[in-house]
């Protein structure tokens, strides 16, 4: 019998001071967000999900408040959401409770209040520590403000901090990227996320890039940045526990790791998504249901305030599709897929399920397959997306 996976909660705060041109998150510029209404809508929605049969009676193992820009939110909203999560779902004693912060919206008193409300991990979106790059990215903060935000977070009592960085910007060489990385390492955060810039469809960046293409790094240059990042972070004591995520010992982001482990999660807020396993009579995962919410904040508020439901779309994944998605996500972890856990959950061995798709990658030395796990080799890291996509 497989017991339910840990249950996680994602809370989306969709408001931003300015919409960065590369951003494809569900973020909206609003000068005066309707915070009270948004808070009530979130709590209504949370209560709805907490009462539903698949989540009822399951305590939350992690909470992640993301955006948008959660650090714009009044502390009383964050406290109200965490209190509601405790009341309606229950929160495990050792739960990781993360929140994202934009260095351009930092307020020392707010940081202290978030910490007092129960937030115990902060993820600061610094993106770069180079003034020209920050301007190109349309960030609302300087590199000095990014460093200052980090210091204020420490003073507020946060002992678990992530810094988000981005590389692969137009015209950026390896030598131009490394100073930002090294300055971030020198701050001694517990965690670093380093993502390559991608031109996402339907962004302002995609539109301008289509008209007048930017000189983005070619594949070889981008790979050089990727591997040098891993090398430097490894030398600085960080463990690359996921393709783009690095942590000091024991400081992996448990919430994001839960996504890669394909745990169930409730998502509340405009544009948030959630999922849960469907179980058959043997209590084996037999497909998945997932949903995503109405994206426009005002429409979300109006709908969620009525009866707590704000779903825009949902879909059911067949067992093989769900297993493929779990495989695809799990391959991002350095430990890869745990074969016995996978079999226990989906009723089928991962290699048996996908050997036809994976054999060429194994043959080429991109995949390591042993009796316990299936994982990417060093060579396979560069092909991670293609390998994972081959099973979908």
Question: Which residues make up the interface to ligand SF4 (CB under 6 A)?
Answer: 16, 19-20, 23, 25, 27, 67-69, 102, 125
User: What totals of helices (H) and strands (E) does the chain contain, helices first?
Assistant: 15, 17
The strand pairing partners of 209, in sequence order, are: none
Residue in the shown chain whose Cβ atom is closest to ligand SF4: 23
Q: Is the peptide bond before 68 cis (omega within 30 degrees of 0)?
A: yes
Q: Which two tokens stand for residue 234?
A: 């490894």
Min dist. Cβ of residue 232 to ligand SF4 (A): 24
- Ramachandran sector of residue 138 (left: φ over 0; alpha: ψ -120 to 50; beta: rest): left
Rounded CA separation 274/48 (Å): 13
Rounded CA separation 146/169 (Å): 18
Min dist. Cβ of residue 123 to ligand SF4 (A): 11
Min dist. Cβ of residue 69 to ligand SF4 (A): 5
Rounded CA separation 287/358 (Å): 22
Min dist. Cβ of residue 336 to ligand SF4 (A): 30
- Smallest CA-to-CA distance from 276 within 70, 2, 4, 37 is with 4
Min dist. Cβ of residue 270 to ligand SF4 (A): 12
- Please identify, using beta-carbon distances, which residue of 124 and 222 lies nearer to ligand SF4: 124
- Please identify, using beta-carbon distances, which residue of 132 and 306 lies nearer to ligand SF4: 132
Cβ neighbours of residue 372 closer than 8 Å, sequence gap 6 or more: 338, 339, 340
Min dist. Cβ of residue 220 to ligand SF4 (A): 27
- Smallest CA-to-CA distance from 193 within 165, 167, 174, 169 is with 165
- Please identify, using beta-carbon distances, which residue of 76 and 204 lies nearer to ligand SF4: 204
- Please identify, using beta-carbon distances, which residue of 50 and 122 lies nearer to ligand SF4: 122
Rounded CA separation 46/65 (Å): 13
- Please identify, using beta-carbon distances, which residue of 8 and 71 lies nearer to ligand SF4: 71
- Please identify, using beta-carbon distances, which residue of 119 and 350 lies nearer to ligand SF4: 119
Q: Is residue 177 within 8 Å of 194, Cβ to Cβ?
A: no
Helix or strand (DSSP H, E) at 255: helix 254-260
Min dist. Cβ of residue 55 to ligand SF4 (A): 27
- Please identify, using beta-carbon distances, which residue of 69 and 373 lies nearer to ligand SF4: 69
Q: How many Å is the maximal CA-CA distance in the chain?
A: 58
Min dist. Cβ of residue 19 to ligand SF4 (A): 5
- Please identify, using beta-carbon distances, which residue of 33 and 68 lies nearer to ligand SF4: 68
- Smallest CA-to-CA distance from 23 within 167, 177, 204, 170 is with 204
- Please identify, using beta-carbon distances, which residue of 68 and 118 lies nearer to ligand SF4: 68
Rounded CA separation 143/127 (Å): 9
- Ramachandran sector of residue 236 (left: φ over 0; alpha: ψ -120 to 50; beta: rest): alpha
Min dist. Cβ of residue 27 to ligand SF4 (A): 4
- Please identify, using beta-carbon distances, which residue of 140 and 383 lies nearer to ligand SF4: 140
Min dist. Cβ of residue 227 to ligand SF4 (A): 26
Sheet (strand 337-338) strand order: 337-338, 373-376, 367-369
Count of Cβ atoms closer than 10 Å to residue 215 Cβ: 9
């Amino acid at each position: 019998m497989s017991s339910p996976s840990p249950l996680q909660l994602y809370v989306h705060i969709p408001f931003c001071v300015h919409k960065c041109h590369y951003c494809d998150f569900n973020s909206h510029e609003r000068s005066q967000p309707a915070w009270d209404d948004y808070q009530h809508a979130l709590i209504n929605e949370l209560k709805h999900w907490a009462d539903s049969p698949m989540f009822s009676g399951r305590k939350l193992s992690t909470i992640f408040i993301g955006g948008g820009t959660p650090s714009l939110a009044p502390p009383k909203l964050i406290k109200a959401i965490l209190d509601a999560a405790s009341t309606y779902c229950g929160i495990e004693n050792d739960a990781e409770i993360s929140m994202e912060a934009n260095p351009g919206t930092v307020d020392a008193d707010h940081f202290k209040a978030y910490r007092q409300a129960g937030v115990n991990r902060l993820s600061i979106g610094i993106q770069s520590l180079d003034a020209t790059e920050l301007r190109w990215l349309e960030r609302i903060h300087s590199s000095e403000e990014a460093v200052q935000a980090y210091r204020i977070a420490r003073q507020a009592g946060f002992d678990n901090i992530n810094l988000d960085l981005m590389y692969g910007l137009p015209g950026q060489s390896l030598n131009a990227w490394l100073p930002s990385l090294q300055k971030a390492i020198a701050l001694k955060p517990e965690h670093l996320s380093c993502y390559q810039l991608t031109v996402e469809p339907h962004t302002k960046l995609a539109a301008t890039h289509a008209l007048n293409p930017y000189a983005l790094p070619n594949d070889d240059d981008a790979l050089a940045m990727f591997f040098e990042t891993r090398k430097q972070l490894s030398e600085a004591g960080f463990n690359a526990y996921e393709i783009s995520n690095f942590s000091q010992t024991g400081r992996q982001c448990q919430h994001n790791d839960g996504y890669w482990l394909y745990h169930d999660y409730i998502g509340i807020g405009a544009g948030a998504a959630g999922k849960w396993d469907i179980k058959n009579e043997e209590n084996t995962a037999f497909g998945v249901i997932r949903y995503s919410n109405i994206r426009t904040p005002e429409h979300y508020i109006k709908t969620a305030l009525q009866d707590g439901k704000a779903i825009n779309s949902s879909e059911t994944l067949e067992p093989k599709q769900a297993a493929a998605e779990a495989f695809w996500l799990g391959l991002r972890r350095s430990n890869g897929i745990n074969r016995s856990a996978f079999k226990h959950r989906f009723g089928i061995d991962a290699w048996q399920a996908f050997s036809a798709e994976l054999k060429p990658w194994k043959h080429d030395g991109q995949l390591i397959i042993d009796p316990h796990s299936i994982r990417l080799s060093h060579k396979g890291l560069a092909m991670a997306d293609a390998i994972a996509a081959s099973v979908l």
